[in-house]
Structure formats: structure tokens, C-alpha cells
Amino acid sequence: MKTMVQTLTEDTLKEMVAVRRDLHQHPETAFEEVRTSGIVAERLRALGLEVRTGVGRTGVLATVKGARPGKTVLLRADMDALPIQEENDTPYRSQVAGKMHACGHDCHTSILLGVAKQLVSERNDLAGAVRLCFQPAEECGGGAEGMIADGAIDPRPDAAFGLHVWQDLDLGLVGVTPGPFMASVDEFSVTVKGTGAHAAMPHLGVDPVVCLAHIVTALQTIASRHASPFHEVVVSVTQIKAGTAFNIIPETAWMNGTVRVFEPELWKALPGHFERIVRGVAAAHGCTVEIDFHRFNQPTVNDHAMAALAREAAVEVVGEKNLRDDIRTMGGEDFSAFLRQVPGCFIAIGSRNASKGLVYGHHHPRFDVDEACLAIGAEVLLRTTQRFLGIAR
Ligand SMILES: [Zn+2]
Ligand SMILES: [Zn+2]
């Protein structure tokens, strides 16, 4: 599939596919992106760029400086893979047991390298600077914050853009959603402590399992009673562990899960709602609790002006009819950490292709994208950057 307008050379496009396949074969999980960041640094140096490595542990920063002064835009790609065993049988499948690029971050890294190459070749026409940010550890949280703490947004850029290949969108479609785009991500763990007893004599103990079951049910009132009916909320308890035998009431029961929202006021109030419900239900059952409430990502909120800019760029590449502006997901993204401090936009690049069987979602062991999305992603990112900086032609 050809994009409507093509800036990138055939050589760059081929290189992007080759880099993506190489990274796909050698996936590295959070904060272990040593080979990956090494390849990134080497390719950026080969373009004549000054490169800073080890940023936020395994991140890489480099800047393409235009011939004339102007604004600075940050472009971010994440580099980490997931602890999943790949089940695809492609020539470029993962060669590392138990690890796989199942979210498409290999694509993001290769796209940003392609964009970097093109920007270097356009340097003389460029006003301002483009800061290239290759980020580790998006999946487990901490990657974006680590790079920011280590200077990724110092001095502060005027805008920040990033993209994600998107399996909910067919190849050729692009999603640019103004405002809230992806949800916050909180993880909770709760240990309920009771008193063990024989299963036949529950009155002699305090059953943490019954208590936990009530907590699981009561937590759903965060969505149904504490949030406005107009605000999205998801509360999912995903792990429960307790007990050792059918005839023993255990001492403790444990659960783990996630809460996700879009609305900032509700996000702030979540830990309070959570703790009150858990402690209240536990007290009613005569149990005590230990709560661990970990805040991973805040909602990913696209700036309206920056989204409008990205939209114009995307329309140039795929046409108005292939643009979607209403894509939202309860999935989260740590690009939100950049967007909290710098106006910007996170763009979804359609990568699904049912005619080739490329239909599996992110984090699935058979996840794979139609690689034609690399060209579209790079064009959209490049044109968004050019528009923001005002490239002379
Ligand atoms: Zn992911
Ligand atoms: Zn991802």
C-alpha cells in the first residue's frame, strides 16, 4: 500500500522494515534495552548526530538542529518488549525465549530512526530543533519519568509527539483524538487478614475469603456510585489467592487488580474511594487489611491545538476519510508523563490487516502488524514535525 504523499525515500522505508525485523528478533524488556539502545545510538551517530546514552538508565537522546533558530519539538519512541513467548512463525520471530515485541515498540523505534534520517537530510530547510527521545520501559512504568528526571525535557520543548501502532484500526487509518485519549493506570494489591479455622467450624475463626469476596463486589461501586454516569471507569480484580486445602479456612486472602479512568478529578479521588471501601468492608467482617495502591500513569490527554496539527498532517498522508478522531481506550501510556508538562499529541497508526491474518491485539502471543504502517507512521510524524516547526520549501 502506498501512502498518498511520500517524503521518505524507498531506501529509508526498506531500512525501517529491516530495523524493525532485527529488533523484533532480539526483544529486550524494561530497562534491559542494551542492544536496542546500542543500535539506536549507532544509527544516530552514523547520521552525524551527537548522542546521549544511558538517559533514565537505557534511554537515548539526540537533537537534529535546523539551519535557522526556532522552536523545539520532542519526538518519542518506546523501545521495550514484553515477557511473552511469541507464537508467530515468521522469519523474523523472536529469538529470545519468553520475550517478544508484542506491543509494537520495535515499530516505534524503527519509525523514529527513519524520521531522524529524513530530518537530517532536510536540516538546511529546518527552523528550530527536533529532540529525538528513545525511551525504555514503557510497559512496566517508570521509563518516561526516568528520562524526564534525567533531562529529556530540559530545556523544555515547545511540543511533544509520539505514536503507537494500533491493532484496533485497519491499516491505512490514523487516529488523532483531541483531549483525553488513553486512561490512567493504577494497580492495587490487598491482603485481608482474618483468623484461620477448620472449614466445618467457621464461627471459631474470621474468614478472609468471604471478606475478600465482599470487597471485590463493593469495589464495583467506584464505577457505579462514585463516578458520574458520564465518566468512564473500569475496576478489574485480576488475581485472587488464598488457602491451601478444601477443609481449611485460611489466615489471609490476597487480590490484585487495576482501576482506570479518564477524568482528572476522579483520578485524584480514586485512592480515597478505594481505601474507604476496602477498610470499611474489612472492618464489617472483623478482618484487617494491608493495601498497596500504585499509581502508574495519569490519563493521556492530547492538547487540542497539537491534535489539530497532527490531524492536518495525517489527512495529508491518508486522506480525510481515513482519519478517526474518536478513538479512546482504557489502556494506558506513560507518554502521558510528557503530555502533562509539554503540549502534544499521541497518534494511533492503524496496523491491522485481516486479509493477511494480522488481527491479534497488543500483548497477544500472535501479535504482528502490517509493516506498511511503518511508512504511514513515519510520514505522519515527519509532517506533524514539519508543520510545527514551519519547514521552508
Ligand atoms: Zn503494551
Ligand atoms: Zn505499547
Q: What distance in angstroms lies between residue 331's CA and the mean position of ligand 1's atoms?
A: 8
Structure confidence at residue 3 (pLDDT): 47
Which has the closest alpha carbon to 326: 338, 316, 311, 336? 311
The ligand that comes nearest to the alpha carbon of residue 185 is: 1
How confident is the prediction along the chain (393 residues), in pLDDT tens digits per residue?
444 557 899 999 999 999 999 999 999 999 999 999 999 999 999 999 999 999 999 999 999 999 999 999 999 999 999 999 999 999 999 999 999 999 999 999 999 999 999 999 999 999 999 999 999 999 987 899 999 999 999 999 999 999 999 999 999 999 999 999 999 999 999 999 999 999 999 999 999 999 999 999 999 999 999 999 999 999 999 999 999 999 999 999 999 999 999 998 999 999 999 999 999 999 999 999 999 999 999 999 999 999 999 999 999 999 999 999 999 999 999 999 999 999 999 999 999 999 999 999 999 999 999 999 999 999 999 999 999 998 644
Ligand sitting nearest the alpha carbon of 107: 2
Q: Ligand 1 centre and the CA of 147: distance in Å?
A: 18
pLDDT of the residue at 5: 57
Please classify residue 122 by burial: count the beta carbons closer than 10 Å to its beta carbon, then call 0-12 exposed, 13-18 middle and 19+ buried. Answer: buried
Query: Measured between alpha carbons, how far is 269 from 290 in angstroms, rounded to an integer?
Result: 19
What the block records as the C-alpha cell of 352 is 491491522
* Ligand with an atom nearest the CA of residue 139: 1
In angstroms, what is the span from residue 139 Cα to ligand 2's centroid? Answer: 7
Q: What is the pLDDT of residue 393?
A: 43
Ligand nearest to the CA of 351: 2
pLDDT at residue 392, as a whole number: 44
At residue 100, the pLDDT reads 98
Confidence at residue 4, expressed as pLDDT on a 0 to 100 scale:
53
CA of residue 110 to ligand 2 center, whole Å: 14
Any idea which ligand is nearest the CA of 135?
2
Ligand 2 centre to CA of 281 (Å) is 36
3-state secondary structure labels for all residues of the chain: CCCCCCCCCHHHHHHHHHHHHHHHHCCCCCCCCHHHHHHHHHHHHHCCCCEEEEECCCEEEEEEECCEEEEEEEEEEECCCECCCCCCCCCCCCCCCCCECCCCHHHHHHHHHHHHHHHHHCHHHCEEEEEEEEECCCCCCCHHHHHHHCCCCCCCCCEEEEEEEEEEEECCCEECCCEEEECCEEEEEEEEECECEECCCHHHCECHHHHHHHHHHHHCHHHHHHCCCCCCEEEEEEEEEECCCCCEECCEEEEEEEEEECCHHHHHHHHHHHHHHHHHHHHHHCCEEEEEEEEEECCEEECHHHHHHHHHHHHHHHCHHHEECCCCECCCCCCHHHHCCCCEEEEEEEEEEHHHCECCCCCCCCCCCCCHHHHHHHHHHHHHHHHHHCCCC
Give the ligand whose atoms come closest to the C-alpha of residue 76: 2
Cα 139 to middle of ligand 1, angstroms: 6
Report yes or no on whether pTM surpasses 0.85.
Answer: yes
- Which ligand ends up closest to the CA of 108? 2
The Å distance, Cα 103 to ligand 1 centre, comes to 5
Q: How far is the CA of 337 from the centre of ligand 2 (A)?
A: 14
Hey, what's the cell of 211? Answer: 471478606
